[in-house]
Amino acid sequence: MKNKYIMYLLLLPFLFGCVHTKIIDELDLVTIVGIDFIDDKMQITAIYHYYTPDKKVENKRLEMTLNKDEDISDHLDREANRPVMLGDIDVIVIGKTVAGKGMYPVIDTLQRRADMGARLYIVLTEEPVRELLSGNYENKGNGQYISKLIEHNVDYRDIPKTNLHLFASDFFQKGKGAYLPILRKKGEDKLQIIGLGIFDDKKLVHSIPADQMFYFKLLVDQHNKSSINVKIGKNSAIVHDVKTKTSISTDYDTLTVHIDYKLRGVVERYTGKRVDPKTIEKIKKGFEKKVEAECLQLLKDFQERKIDPVGIQRKFMQQNRDFDDKKWKDQYANVTFKIHSKVIITESGTVE
């Protein structure tokens, strides 16, 4: 059965096949491709934009359920009333079943295509891909909606930098697991990000819920304009415009990882009576304690699951000449993490 799934995915080069030069107005420009498994078949959902006379964007869908020996490109052309062009894709949506079976053929095909932009986004969904793509999200087309949703959450929220190039780098190289955002449908006109899918050995093996993504991003990237809620006893503070810098160093002799964070932000709201220097100090200490505890818990959880999306192995390889790759699997379980964070609050805002 496993070999059958791999054979299905090997058909993907037909989906992303060459298209000769044509006039843009005479083409259907596909912006999203969804890939899913339904029983023993492969289901493809392709969305292209149709511009109405009043210049509104409508999502047109091409859906196919194929056997392994069927030609995908033929099916696309049969169901469309104009030639289909696939070089303008913004997003690839991967179903959970596909990700769990192994994504090597998908990623290998995508990164080899010269007309596939390295900046296109790949996302996961736990629900059927067809269902996720059945909605109409805003008025600019589903491709642009999902692309802007991911871009916004990378710039202002908790998704680490992601695109085809970055994912493929982690996916194929040694010493660090790859990860992708997970989307869920929320009504007929919205999607929400519910977590990150973690890959190991080319397969989806774990997921991080949305409430842990802030801390995971601290470990693998940096925040530039994020926000977080910090509990201070019975009160809480929203720290806004969070900017972070992370330094990770290793000691191979003692199998120790030292992680230092610097976080800078603004207290936007506080539920207590007043924000004075004493309160600011409590917020800082509470923030530091929370960061250290949550990041340590994530690292220990990855250790127990024998996965490494943070790239601890890569850090040891880069920083230690004596690193022994053959011993690493046993050594990883014995790595000790020491975390220190420093929070700087630059100003305060509203008191509720």
For the chain, the domains span 2-211, 222-351
Token pair 């330094």 is at which residue? 247
Q: Which of 138, 295, 315 is nearest to 217 (CA)?
A: 295
Give the residue-averaged pLDDT of 230-234: 90
Structure tokens belonging to residue 39: 């029983």
The confidence band for 308, taking pLDDT boundaries of 50, 70 and 90, is: very high
Residue pair 185/132 in contact (Cβ under 8 Å)? The answer is yes
The confidence band for 263, taking pLDDT boundaries of 50, 70 and 90, is: very high
What Cα–Cα distance (Å) separates residue 3 from each residue in 6, 8, 28, 274, 275?
A: 5, 9, 33, 64, 62
The confidence band for 69, taking pLDDT boundaries of 50, 70 and 90, is: low
Backbone angles phi, psi at 279, to 5 degrees: -65, -40
The confidence band for 187, taking pLDDT boundaries of 50, 70 and 90, is: confident
User: How would CATH label the architecture of 222-351?
Assistant: 2-Layer Sandwich (3.30)
Give the residue-averaged pLDDT of 234-239: 93
Can you tell me the distance from the alpha carbon of 316 to that of 342, in angstroms, rounded to the nearest whole number? 24
Q: What pLDDT, on a 0 to 100 scale, did the predictor assign at position 70?
A: 62
Whether residue 335 has pLDDT greater than 60: yes
* 332 or 111: which leads in pLDDT: 332
Q: Which 8-state DSSP code applies to residue 210?
A: G
Give the residue-averaged pLDDT of 318-329: 94
Give the residue-averaged pLDDT of 213-241: 94
Give the residue-averaged pLDDT of 223-251: 94
Give the residue-averaged pLDDT of 297-301: 98
* DSSP secondary structure, 264-314, as one string: EEEEEEESSS---HHHHHHHHHHHHHHHHHHHHHHHHHHHHHT--TT-HHH
CB atoms near residue 234 (< 10 Å) = 7
**What pLDDT, in 10s, does the model give residues 32-63?**
999 998 887 888 898 987 777 777 778 888 88
Q: What pLDDT, on a 0 to 100 scale, did the predictor assign at position 40?
A: 78
Residue pair 283/345 in contact (Cβ under 8 Å)? The answer is yes
Of 92-101, 134-143, 193-202, the range with the lowest mean pLDDT is 134-143
Q: What pLDDT, on a 0 to 100 scale, did the predictor assign at position 19?
A: 45
Q: Which amino acid is at 75?
A: H
Q: 238 has which bridge partners?
A: 229, 269
Q: What pLDDT, on a 0 to 100 scale, did the predictor assign at position 79?
A: 66
pTM confidence score? 0.89
Residue pair 315/332 in contact (Cβ under 8 Å)? The answer is no
Q: Mean pLDDT across the chain, nearest whole number?
A: 87
Q: What pLDDT, on a 0 to 100 scale, did the predictor assign at position 141?
A: 86
**What pLDDT, in 10s, does the model give residues 10-35?**
555 555 554 444 444 545 678 899 99
Can you tell me the distance from the alpha carbon of 194 to that of 123, in angstroms, rounded to the nearest whole number? 11
Q: Which 8-state DSSP code applies to residue 236?
A: E
Q: What pLDDT, on a 0 to 100 scale, did the predictor assign at position 147?
A: 96
Of 60-74, 112-126, 163-177, 252-266, the range with the lowest mean pLDDT is 60-74
Q: What pLDDT, on a 0 to 100 scale, did the predictor assign at position 104?
A: 87
The residues near 348 (Cβ < 8 Å, ≥ 6 apart) are 266, 267, 270, 275, 280
Q: What percent of the chain has pLDDT over 90?
A: 61
Q: What pLDDT, on a 0 to 100 scale, did the predictor assign at position 287?
A: 96
CA count, 13 A, side-chain hemisphere, 165: 6
